[in-house]
Structure 1
Amino acid sequence: MPRARGDDALMAGRLAILCPGQGAQHLAMFDMARLDPAARALLDAWFADPALGATLQAGLGEERFTNRIAQPAIVAATLAMWRALQATIAPPVLVAGYSIGELSAYGVAGALAPEDVIKLAIERARLMDACVVDGAEQGMVALSGMPSGTVDALLAGCGFYPAIVTGDDALVAGGPAAQRDALANAAMAAGGHATVLPVAVASHTPMLAGAVAPFGALLADACWRAPAFPVLSGISAEPVFAAGKALAELPRQIAEPIRWRDCMEAMSEAGITVALELGPGAALSKMLQSRKQNIACRSVTEFRSLDGIRAWLQRQLD
C-alpha cells in the first residue's frame, strides 16, 4: 500500500518514475498491465473508443514503429502500466519522461487525464509528420564515444542538429535523411560509434519548428490539473510544479534538444534512490544505472509479474 507521509517517510527511499520514448514498442507491450483489473478495464475502454482504438490496435501490428502510431501506443502502454501499479506502490518524488515520454509523465502525475494524453500524442505525431515535406526526408543518428571537440563540426558538416544529449560523449542527432550515412561514417572515422535509427522525423531539432505553436495551442485547450508530484522538463531539466510552466516548455521540446543527461543529474540532486521505468523497454533505467550506480534502477519489462515489481520496490524503498 502507499507509504504514509510523515517523519518515517522522510527517512525512506525516494522513488522516480521514468516514462520511455519510442523504440522498444512490441506486440506484447500491454500484456502485463492487463493482469490488473483496473488497467485492463482502462485498456478495454481505449481500444473500444472510436477516436483511439484503431490507432492503438495498429500499435500491435507492423505499423508500430511509424511516428503516428508509435507515439500514442507508447503513451497508452506507459499509462496503462501506471494504472496497474499506482494504488499499490509508494508515491514517487518526481517523474521524468524521454521525448514523447514527457507527455506521458504529465499523465502519470495526474495533470492530464490518460485518454487526453493519448489524444494529444496522436495530434503531436500528426503535427510532427507534417513538418516532413516531400524530397526533404528526415532522420536521426545515435552517436557515442565521441572524442572531445568533434561533435559540433561533424553535425554542422552534415546539416544535423543535437536532438537528445544522453551522456558526456553521447547524443542523438537529427537532420536530413540523405546525410544519415555520411554522419555515421564521419563519426566512426573520428573514433566514435554511430547507429542510424529507424526514425523518419528529426525530433527535437529546428526542423520540427512548425509543430511547436499548433501543439502549444492544443495543450492550452486541454483540461489541466496541478501535478501530484513534479515532472522534469526535458529542455531545462528543472522540476515543473504547475501547468503554466508545462504549457511553456512542453511544446518547445518538439524542436529543442532534450537534456536527458542533465535530467539524470537532477534526479540524483533530488535524492532519488530508486527509479522504475514503466516500459516498454529498459533504455532509461539502464542509462541511469550506468551513470548513477547509487540509484537502484529497473524496468517493468525485467519482471514476470506485477507482484514482483511491487515486492522489489518495497525492498528498495524500506
Structure 2
Amino acid sequence: MVVVMVTLAVIKCFSYTWVTLNAATNFHDTMFKKIFSSPMSFFDTTPTGRILNRFSKDQEEVDTVLPLHMDPFLQFTLLVTFTIITISAVFPPMLAAIVFIGALFGLILFIFQRSIRQMKRLENVSRSPCISLTTSTLQGLSTIHAYNIRDRHIRLFKSLNDINSNHYVLFHSGTRWLSFCLDSMASTMTLLVSLFIVLSSNDFISPSLKGLALSYTIQLTGMLQYTVRLATEVEARFNSVERLQEYITGCKSEAPRQIKEAQVPEDWPKSGTITFQDYKMRYRENTPIVLNGLDFFIRAGEKLGIVGRTGSGKTLNPAVFTHNFVFHAG
C-alpha cells in the first residue's frame, strides 16, 4: 500500500505540473503572438504599464500562485466527498447535519464571493498605473530634472502605490475574515454534532461507530471550511486568467504578411514607382482624417523628405487607409 501511494503521488505530481505548466505556457505564447501582431493603434491607445502588468503579475499568478492553490483545493474536495460517503455509511442520520452545514457554508460563500472577487480585480487593475508611471518616469528623467518636478512624481507614485496596497490589504483581509467565520461556524457545528452523538443511545448506534463518526465529523468540518475558503481564493485568482484571455480574444491582428492568392516573385520589385491617388489617412478608426486627398508621384530611385512644423503629423501612423494607392513595378 505504501508503494502504491508513493507511486500514485509521484504520477499525480508530474501530471499536474505538466498540465498546469503547459496551460500557463500556452497562455503566455498566445498572448505574446496576439499582441505582437496587433496594429499600432493598439499600442497608441494602451498604456505600456497595462501590457507589462499582464506579462508580469498576471502571468506570474497563472504560472505559480494559481496552481499552488488549485492543488490543495482539488485534493480536499476529494477528501470531503469520500468523508461524506463514509459518514453516510456509518451513521446515516449525520447526513442531515452535513446538508445543513453545506447549505450554511454555501450561503456564506455566496455572500463573500463577489466582494473578494471584486477586491482581487481592483488590485490587478490598480497595479497598471504604478507600472506606467515608472516606465514613463524612466523615459523622461531628463525632462523631470530640467523642470524640477521630481517631488511631484514621487508624491504621485506614492499615491498610486497606496491605492494598490489598499486593494491588496482588502483582498487578504476579506479572505482571512471568511476563514474566521467558517472556523467559528465549523466549531459550533462540531460541538452540536458531538453532543448529539454522545447523548444518543448505544442501542441506536454502537460506541465504536460513534467514535468513528465523531472523528470523521471533526475532520469534515475542518476540511469543509478550508475547501470553501480555497474555492473562494481560487476563483478570485482566476481573474488573472480572465485578464490574459481578454487580450487573447480581444486583440485584432493586422493583415497577414503573406496572402496565398497574391503570390509575387522573390526578387520583386527590382525597381518601381509609387502613385498616390486621392490618398486619405487617419490615426485609427473613429478619428478625423489627417491626410486628405493627397496626389503625388514617386519615381524609381527617388528619395522624398516630408517637411512640416512640430505636431503637423509627419510621423503619422498608417493604421487605417480610407482610400487606395497604386504601386507600379517597373
TM range (shorter): under 0.3
Structure of higher CA gyration radius:
2
Which structure is higher in helix share? 2
Which structure is higher in strand share? 1
